[in-house]
Every structure is written in C-alpha cells, then in structure tokens.
Structure 1
C-alpha cells in the first residue's frame, strides 16, 4: 500500500516534466520560424520596413500574444501547447492545429507527444476525404457588384471523382465577405473597398455552389484541375480546419477570394511564390493566370451557363420554330396543337427542348410554383418521347488569355489645333475597345482611370478621373430580352464658359437595349440620366436627361466603336458628342488606339479632338 502511494506521488511530481516541450536551440528555432511552410501557415508577409505581419486579423488564431508579428514567438508557443495535457479534449492545440502539429512532429521528430483523440477533426476530415483539388472560376457577372470581376474557389475531390465519380459529391472551399443585413450595392462596394467586412473561409457541398453560380446567376464555370498530390491536398485541408471561424479583413481589390486561395496553394506546395505577384490588386483572372503559369494546372473543363445552353439549342431554329418555343414555354397545352404536330419529328424535338430550357431559365432564382412545375413536367414527357440530339456548346476563349488588368496609357493629340500629350493609368480592367480575347462583346468594367494632360504651353491639367465605369450591353433576341445598362462616376472635363474646359463631378447612368446586327456587330440605344456638380452652374447639383447610342464592331484589326451621346440639363445647357474609336491589337498586352471626337455645347462653339494613344496592359 505504501509503495503504491509513493508511486502515485512520484507520477504527480514528474508528470509536468514528462509533458514539457523539448528545448530547441535558438538557431534551430529561428531556422524553423523562417521556413516557407511555417510562414504560409501563419499567413505572414514581410513588412516594407522590416519585420513581419500576418494577414490574419483574428487574435484567437494565435497562441502567442506576439504571434501576429513574430513567427518565432508563435512557433515557440505552439511547441509548448502541443505538450499540454490532453484533458482539454478537442480544444487541445494538436486538435486545433493539425497542420502545425504534423509539420513540427516531422521536423523535430517529436515521438513523445501526448495523444488527444481529436474526434471532431477526424470526423470532419473523413467526411471531406481530400484527394485532389480543382480551381473553379465562375466567370464575370455584371449584374452583381460582388461578382463583376468573376470569382475563384477550390473544389476538393475525394479519391476516384476524376475517373468515374460525380463532382456533386465534392466540397467547395470558398473565401468571401460575411455580410450581415441587407446592404445596398453602393454600401457594399464602399465597405468592400475599405475593408468593412470580415472575410471567412467556408466549406460547403459543391452542388450548392454549382447551383448558385451556374444556375442561379447564369454564369459560365471554368474548372482548372490542379496537379496537387493527395499529400499536398491533405496539407491544405488540414490548414483549412485551423482557419475555421477565423476572421480576415476582406478587401474587394486585394485581400479577396482569389488572394486567400493563393495563400492556401502555398500551404499545399511550400515554395510557390504566388501572393507576392499581387502587391496592389488581385483580380480573379490574373490569379488564375498566375496559377497556370506556376505549372499547377493539368486540365481545363468548361461548364456553360443555363443561358448559354438555351442559346446554343435555339441557334439552329428558324424564326417560326423560335416562335413555337416561346408558345410552348408560355402554354404547354400547345404541344397538342395540330400545327406543331405537323412539324418534322426532328424539328419538334429541338423546339421542345428549347422551350423546356426557356422555362427553366425563366425560373432562375424564383420560388418553385405548381404551374411552372407542371409545364416543365409536360415538356419533359414530350422530350422523352422524341429526344433531341445531344447538345454541344462551343467553348469560348479561356478567360485568362485576355489582356492583363492594369493599363498604362500614353497619347498625343490635338484639340482644335492645340497640341497636347496625355498620360493615363487605369487600375482595372477592360473597356469596350480593349482587346476582346477572353471578354464578351459589350462588357466594360473600369476602376480608377486617371488621365492627365500636358498642353504645348506647359499647362498641365487633370483631364478625368473615373472612379468606376461599368457597361453591360447584352444583346436581345426573340427568346431572351436582357436589359442593357451603364453607370459611371468621377471627375471629368466638360465645355465651360469663355472656351475653357471645366472640371466637374458627375454621376450618370442609363438603361435600354442592345441588338446583335451580325456575328461581330452590336448596336445599342440607352436613355440616360446625369447628376453634375459644375462651378459654371448656379445650382449645386444639375440634373440632365439624355441618350447614348452607337455601334460596336469587332473587326480584323481590333475593336471599333461609333457613339453619339447627348445630355439635356434642366437649366438649358445642352451637350452632345460624336466619337469614333478604333483600336489596333499589336499584341495581347499592347494596343494602339485612334480617338476622334466632336463636342457641342451651348457654352462654347463645336470643338474637334483627335488623339493617338499607346496602351500597355501590364499587371
């Protein structure tokens, strides 16, 4: 009895020493703390003036009070925490930080670590069953401010999915802003730019994301299968567990969905230098290009949107057959119409399939209703009786093959005989006349476009500063009738009194329609409104109504636009402009643009301007 009591006392006294972390030489500790993998696990970056900072903005991620700025202190604290008693269960450091644990165990050969069960992590990891990864790029969707640059996420596949399984059983790994409440588009954009939202990682079934992007938002999906090994994929998912409910600041242009995923890829394959390519902005197409250039992509798959599938099915139909598709989509009873039954069987099959796809397209984002369900069912029964041929959708150009997102501009021109040089910088990322490869015709997204002019008398002036300029000119057809729209805001020069140009603040927008006049020719007409703060006007804000109409033509040289605009202010001022722009594509990232414009204003005589501009697209 006395011997047993003595043994128990000895165990109690010795236990703290048995669980103490090993002493590591300072040189070895510093070496480990500067390892690429440890820095990737902590999301550390080197500050401009020396030292470190972590992108993680959540103090509960760190075990050391200095962990946010000191990788070595965080490593030392992690070592100590790994040897704590297992009584804390799933809150033990080994359970919270499986990626750190595995790496330190391998590097330091820690064979005497305590053995907590970590049931929550093991269950979660077994459910995800990571084996391989796919980078998914839902293409740009201009009707949503959060999606107008596109998006990236990772699909995590279990073993066998690439050969015979279904990706619907996989998980989607996403980083996004956590938005509470119902912020409007303007407030969303402002908070996104200023870091007003926290960002979180989430892991959800891939079928949910597929429905959200490919079906609900009618966005094309590009899937880039990565050549990560099962071990590299497992490393990445271990770290995702460490980031569960950990907050990052979310910034629309740099610390966004794409940037965070690049950090995860650097955890999967230490030594990749992906994030340091994006010191200012991380636009999804640029990050996809960086992943591809790093040699990570082994295959690319394309999933067309519901809209693309509908248009592809309707493309071979005649005008009368498209009318029948519309009638069937409005009333399934027309399937029994004798005139419809008189169509050849193969034509009826195409029309029925187009009608069914139109019904499903119209139901996008809508609550399920009995009438729509009955119509879909009737059309499906007809399709089963006379099945159409398999649908093939032509794959568009890869989005990453387009020009890079930042543009430097150097121009020389003349305004009514007065010569000038113009210097410009646009942070992002495409206008109607830019190289169209990888971009849909009629799409424009410009952010922070600065133009400065130097006239021949050494007079310098700010010519314009567009904070944002967005145009969505989607062509209408018999089956689909999308609204074309545009909005822009910023500073610009307009005709002023005494023949001078006045710098004004403006906000304008418009809506109307666009029509495909040929394979590469688009016409548009929009009604516009404008609010302007002009020192030449008596009122603080002057409203105007107007129009904007023109043609876009993708030709053998590049892109040509011919445009007529007008603004009719309530105070009697009238402004009109005719402009022509033709860009020649010298290479993917180099263009030469000719601009000719004639301006009319009640304040001034008509003015003519001509400019030749070299545009260099460079991240």
Structure 2
C-alpha cells in the first residue's frame, strides 16, 4: 500500500499525459480477454467473481485489482500515461507485458517514453528466442522433489547451433524458505501453503548442477515450438513477476502449475491449467504440454549416478574392487593387479574410478587430496581413453500410468465375502505398472478404502495420508539406504476376532539388493507408534521388521512380503502377503492379493482379494 501511495505521489508532482477515455463495454470486454486474465493470474472465485493467485499487493495498481480485472485494467492504462521522468519506476518499465498488449489493443500511440534501463539490460542479457521445458525426474530422498519438478530454459538464437545451453537462463518457481526447516516441517508447511512461492530467473548451469549432481536426478528436456515472439512475451511477464509472492502448495499451486500459466501467456490460445482443478503433479503437467502439441523434440540427460552405474556394469567383481582401490589411492594405478589388466579393461576401470570420485565429491567442500586424485585419474584417462558411454534411454516419464487411481475389489476374509471400493489421489505403489517409474519406488498420498461386507455392513478399511518407500538396490560401488515412512488409519486384528481401526505412524530403514535382472530383495528394521482401543495405553510403540521380494515379471509386478511388529505391551503382530498385478493396459490393472495375519490378540486370519485398478487423472 505504501508503495502504491508513493507511486501516486510521484505522478501528481510531475506533468501528466492525457489518458484516453474508455467506455465501460470496451473495458469489460478487454478485462475478460483470456490474455488479460492470464497476465493477472486470475481464476473464477468459488463464490463468483474473480480472484488472483498472486498474493502480493505490489503486483496490482488498483486497490482491489486482485478481485477485479476490469479495475486493474483501468488503473494500468492510467499508469501508462504517468510522466516519463519516473524512469525505471514507470508502469511501462514495471509491466512490459501489460504495456505491449494494451498498446496493441487500444492503439495507444501517444504514450510517454520512459527510459527503462534496468528492464532493457535484463531483457538483452536473456535474449529470449526459444524455450525448453525441463523435467528433473523424481527424487525420493527430498520431500520437495519426490514427485519430480519442472522449470523452463530460455535459449538465445544461437544456443542450439553453438551448443551453449549452459549459458542459457532458467525460469524456476519454488517455495521460498527462510531458515532450515527439517523435512517433516517442510512437507507439512508445503502441504498447508506455509511458504510463499516466487519466480526466479537464474543461470541454467546452476540448476543443471543442482539436479543432475547434487540430487543425482535424470533430466528430460522438451523442446517447445514457441516462436521467438511468444518466448519473448513469456519472458516479459517473468520480469513483471520478480519478487512477487504467490501462495505455494505442493499438490496444486506448485512449480508445474505456475509454469503452465506462463505458457498460456506465451500462447494465449492454450488452455492448460483448467485440466488440474485439484492436483498438478509434474508428470501430468508434462503430459498436458505434450498433448497440446507444444513439444517438438525430447532429449534425455542421465544423472551422474546413472552414468557411473552404466560404466561399471560390464566390470566383473575383481575389476570393481580395482575401481574402489584406484579411486581411494591413485598409486594403485601402478599396482601389479591393475597393470595386469588388458588395456581396454584398464580404460573402463579408471574411468569408473574417476566418475566415482566425482560422485562422492558432489555437494562436499573441496578436498585438495580428492582433487589431486581426480586430476591423476584424468591424466590416466587421457592416455588411455575408454569407449563412449552408451546409456539406454529409459521410458518417458509422461508415458507412465495416470496419477489418480480408482479401485474396485471383491474378496473373502475367512468365511465373510466383501466388496472393496478405493480412491488414491496419487500416485504409484510397488505393484503398479513400472513403465516410466523406477523399480522399487512408492509414493502414495491420500488413499481411502471402504469395505462392504455381507448384510450391507460398511466400514472404513484404511485411510493412508502418505506411504513412501524407497527401495534402491545396493551394489559394490554405491551403498544407498532403503527406507519407508507411512501414516494414517488401518484395520488390524482385534481381541474379539474382529478388525479394529487404529491410527498409526511407522517407518524404517535397511537395504535392498538386486538378486537378478528385475528381481529385488529388501530387508528393513521398522518402528511403529499406534493408538489402538484394544490396548490399555493411549499410544503403544513397537519395533519390527519388513522384508521381501519385488519381481518385475512378464505379467507385471509381484511382491512377496513379510512384516512383524513387536509391541512393548506384549502384543505381537505378523503378516505374510503376496500381490501380483496383471497390466491389462497402461491405465488398467488387475491385482490378486493374498494375506495371512497373525496376532496374539486373535486367531490367524486369511484374506484373498481380486482388485481392478483404473488409473485416471
């Protein structure tokens, strides 16, 4: 508000230009134009009228511009005729995209000409010509990145011909975080809109380093067929949004949703955001952009981790041990064991050792000894270079199954038949179709299952707030931890041989190993905290285990899993389950589940269910 008053005071103290007279019908028509709505980030309010996603007064020139596109348009036209002496503070300098469009629509040929030095220097430095949508793949070990991320790269006219993408700029939208919130607090505040969201234009090289190296994520680059004029229009609007705050929510008003709005500014005929009324998961937004016809080419950039594993794949056990020895001490390049290797095998070993050293150095402070080892390995590689690294491109992430899942099952529990109805808002479990997803990754958010027994007896079977599992296999070179975390409501065996609905939070950590091609084995230690009406205590802790097999077979994915929880109050609960999914199509699956549960409070229970799963956004 103070900024707006200061601006009006400056206008009043300088010679004014004649503002054109606009009739109400024309104002209303222009204010309802899709392009003006896109520039103001307006949406239809739930009780009628308009509201802007922008949560920042300085973005609006009218006092109630956030809710009245027509009043904001009038205020903008008035501001365009403010004295040119305002310089960089002039509305034409602050809002170049609005200025260009209103000048064209209203044929404003008599506007003052302020000297917009800051904007002109910035725009000339970016020099927008074309745009690329960047999708860093999902990274489970970061709460902000578990669904993936999207950003835009802005290229100059000669970027592709000169292969200078590292000199380009990136447009990124993300949560602005002050301080050092832990992962749990970060996730909670992200879900509840506790962080402001900001657009930022930064060197693409910084983002590339962050996502490929610091987080070891594969990158997908989607070349967009925007014209130079359309790309420039989008960049103009990014200038208008600098330091302007939006509300930020992980599931809808997030990085991907905001970038869709930018693309609608670039090409006003697009209608992308209306497809995401509830959630905007990055892979779904990439799919929407592709289906709109905007994508002309796709390029894949593997992460450092994937490059390292690909280089080490043809090495046998002894050669991998040489990789570890050489990376730890380059004097081993002269050892009898290494020099005895054939020349072509030496090349593979020392290249893998160098990649391992660079992988370990990622995100760490510079270590002179490590830098020296890397230099020695580079010298050895130059003397005996390896063959080019050939990495097979994985399945396109946007070609995986849809995010939301409807579930319909029939089964029996002991001698009682039931029907089960379910809805999962997002987005993938271990048995789902793995095309476009890493094997061993599970992210489920907001899953509800209702069960109907005979005689029309209904009950809530489970309500999962979140279930996240990362089963990344360990190998001779890399030793990642596997982990899982879950929370919500679920049915467990009760003391009257019934099922009791309990609330719980549990998690665990351990290891995963690749036993064969497409076959993973995992073993985790777990802890659980549970509120159970059959227990005397209000909350009861337990320690336990979770282990099993995950097999990618010709029909789909199968899991064989054993679990156990040993409560401090003496209760022992164990289960053995088998799940096999048949992939009928990309977005349709049939799953057979069998489970046997053991409990000190109840007799053993058997359950079998056949479930149809329909993946639909």
TM-score between the two structures when normalised by the length of structure 2: 0.97
In the TM superposition, what whole-angstrom CA distance separates every residue of 1:86-135 from its partner, at most 9, and x where no partner exists? Answer: 12211100000000001111111111000001000000001111110000
Equivalent-residue separation in structure 2 for 1:335 and 1:262 (angstroms)? 52
Give the Cα separation in 1 of the matches to 2:37 and 2:317: 62
Alignment partner, residue 111 of structure 1? 109
Q: Show CA shifts across 1:381-404 (max 9, x none).
A: 110111111111111000000011
Structure 2 CA distance for aligned equivalents of residues 372 and 300 of structure 1 = 36
**Alignment partner, residue 387 of structure 1:** 385
Q: Secondary structure at the match of 2:603?
A: strand
- C-alpha displacement at 1:47, in angstroms? 2.3
1:436 aligns with 2:423: no
Find the counterpart in structure 1 of residue 6 from structure 2: none
Deviations 1:487-535 (A, max 9, x none): 1011111111111111111111111111111111111111111111111
Moved over 4 A (4+): none
2:212 paired residue number: 214
Determine the structure 2 residue equivalent to 1:64.
Answer: 62
| 1:284-307, Cα deviation, whole Å (9 max, x unpaired) | 000000000000000000110000
Give 1:28's aligned residue.
26
**Are the counterparts in 2 of residues 407 and 426 from structure 1 also a CA contact under 8 Å?**
yes
Pairs within 5 Å for 1:113-512: 113-512=111-510
* CA distance in structure 1 between the aligned counterparts of 2:382 and 2:352, rounded to whole angstroms: 14
Q: How does 1:532-611 map to 2 (within 5 A)?
A: 532-611=530-609
Which residue matches 1:6?
none
For the residues of structure 1 that align with 2:78 and 2:262, how far apart are their CA atoms?
A: 25
Following superposition, the deviation at residue 338 of structure 1 comes to: 2.2
The aligned counterpart of 2:73 is 75
Which ranges in structure 1 are unaligned for 5 or more consecutive residues?
A: 1-12
Give 3-state SS (helix, strand or coil) of 1:225's partner: strand
CA distance in 2, matches of 1:462, 1:47: 33
Alpha-carbon distance, 1:564 to partner:
0.6
CA displacement 1:47-89 (0-9 Å, x = unmatched): 2442111111101100111211111111111000000111221
Distance 2:567 2:145 in 1: 34
Query: Any idea what the Cα deviations from partners look like across 1:246-286, whole Å, max 9, x if unmatched?
Result: 00000010000000000000000002110000000000000
Distance 2:338 2:179 in 1: 50
Root-mean-square deviation (CA, aligned residues, Å) is 1.1
Q: 1:224 is paired with a residue of what secondary structure?
A: strand
SS in structure 2 at match of 1:289? helix
Give yes or no for contact 1:313–1:350 (8 Å, CA) kept in 2.
yes
- Show the counterpart of 1:8: none
Per-residue deviation, 1:20 = 2.0
| Matched position secondary structure for 2:543 | strand
Q: Classify the secondary structure of the residue corresponding to 2:455.
A: coil
Q: Aligned partners of 2:508, 2:283: CA distance in 1, in Å?
A: 28
Structure 1 contact 20–80 (Cα < 8 Å) conserved: no
**Mean Cα displacement is larger for which, 161-170 or 52-61?**
161-170
* Aligned match for 2:50, one of 34, 52, 56: 52
Moved more, 257-266 or 25-34: 25-34
Q: Distance in 1 between matches of 2:35 and 2:577?
A: 54
Cα displacement (A) at 1:583:
0.7
Tell me by how many angstroms 1:357 deviates.
0.5
Match of 1:41 among 39, 42, 51: 39
Correspondent of 2:523 among 518, 522, 525: 525
How far apart in 2 are the matches of 1:94 and 1:110?
Answer: 12
Distance 1:387 1:559 in 2: 40
Gaps of at least 5 residues in structure 2 are 1-11
Counterpart Cα distance in 2 of 1:530 and 1:459: 30
Partner secondary structure for residue 418 of structure 2: strand
TM-score (norm 1): 0.97
In structure 2, distance between residues paired with 1:613 and 1:342: 57
Q: Provide the rounded CA distance (Å) in 2 between the counterparts of 1:165 and 1:576.
A: 58
Task: Name the CA distance, whole Å, in 1 between partners of 2:537 and 2:47.
Answer: 49
CA deviation after TM superposition for structure 1 residue 364, in Å: 1.6
Residues of 2 paired with 1:190 and 1:345: CA distance?
54
Q: Distance in 1 between matches of 2:508 and 2:244?
A: 41
SS of equivalent residue, structure 2 residue 160? coil
In structure 2, the residue corresponding to 1:361 is in which secondary structure? helix
Mapped partners of 1:297, 1:429: distance in 2: 24
CA distance in 2 between counterparts of 1:225 and 1:144 reads: 27
Return the alpha-carbon distance in structure 1 between the equivalents of residues 539 and 180 of structure 2.
Answer: 29
Cα pair 1:472 1:485 within 8 Å, conserved: yes
Equivalents in 2 of 1:530, 1:293: separation in Å?
Answer: 44
